[in-house]
Chain A
Amino acid sequence: EADIYQTPRYLVIGTGKKITLECSQTMGHDKMYWYQQDPGMELHLIHYSYGVNSTEKGDLSSESTVSRIRTEHFPLTLESARPSHTSQYLCASSEAAEAFFGQGTRLTVV
């Protein structure tokens, strides 16, 4: 069973607030990813990292930012949340081919 954790699981927040979604893994994986998933739609890559101090933007444009200061930790930050940011955010990590996912954070911006 994969050991990758996301907090919070659910978050309802007002427009304009700054938020950070946490993601931690205990498997020592170098590669980590953030995906965004809307209901009935495919997962889209928004950020990825190949190791400490490495971060890149994915295929889907996102106003969020990420950091990778420690191998096990890959937080995602929204400086000013908007209703358009309402979505499910999924964190994943991999060593070889298979990616293992956390349970996700369901974000609602009101």
Chain B
Amino acid sequence: EDQVTQSPEALRLQEGESSSLNCSYTVSGLRGLFWYRQDPGKGPEFLFTLYSAGEEKEKERLKATLTKKESFLHITAPKPEDSATYLCAVQAPGQAGTALIFGKGTTLSVSS
């Protein structure tokens, strides 16, 4: 069964304290791995797509990496405005081959 597991569930950082979020996945035939940011009461906002092991993508203080079993979202020198829930999702062949399978997310809190 295709599955996505994110850790930790919650992470508290001081402003400027870099860290990483983990997304491990079990899927037959990965078509893509996606990172989203979700603010309270809002829909997920697309951040990155990764397709193959070794691929990296960057956007401002965020950098996403992919291996054959997991992905990391590295946050460098975070600011309070980076506080949000970060969702990882995979796309795999199946009944709804273009739909996404999501993890439960990591809720990040950055204090000044």
Interface set of A (CB-CB < 8 Å, partner B): 2, 6, 31, 33, 35, 40-45, 48, 50, 56, 58-59, 90, 92, 94, 97-104, 106
User: Would you list 14 pairs from A and B whose C-beta atoms are within 8 A, ordered by A residue?
Assistant: A6-B43, A31-B98, A33-B99, A42-B102, A42-B105, A45-B100, A50-B98, A58-B99, A92-B43, A97-B91, A99-B34, A101-B36, A102-B43, A104-B41
Q: Is the CB of A104 within 8 A of B43?
A: yes
Compute how far the CA of A71 lies from the CA of B108 in the bound complex, rounded to whole angstroms: 36
A58-B96, A58-B99, A99-B100 given; A43·B45 CB < 8 A = no
Q: Which of A50, A98, A102 has the most CB of B within 10 A?
A: A98
Q: Is the CB of A42 within 8 A of B104?
A: yes
- Interface size for B (C-beta < 8 A) is 24
Residue interface mask B44-61, A partner, CB < 8 A = 1: 111001000000000000
Chain B contacts for A41, CB-based, 8 A: 104
Q: Is the CB of B32 within 8 A of A101?
A: no
A42-B102, A42-B105 given; A99·B46 CB < 8 A = yes
Question: Given B4, B44, B95, which contacts A90 in the complex, CB threshold below 8 Å?
Answer: B44
Compute how far the CA of A97 lies from the CA of B87 in the bound complex, rounded to whole angstroms: 16
Q: Is the CB of B96 within 8 A of A45?
A: yes
- The answer to the question of B12 belonging to the interface, with a C-beta cut-off of 8 Å to chain A, is no
Compute how far the CA of A92 lies from the CA of B38 in the bound complex, rounded to whole angstroms: 14
Compute how far the CA of A59 lies from the CA of B31 in the bound complex, rounded to whole angstroms: 18
Compute how far the CA of A90 lies from the CA of B45 in the bound complex, rounded to whole angstroms: 12
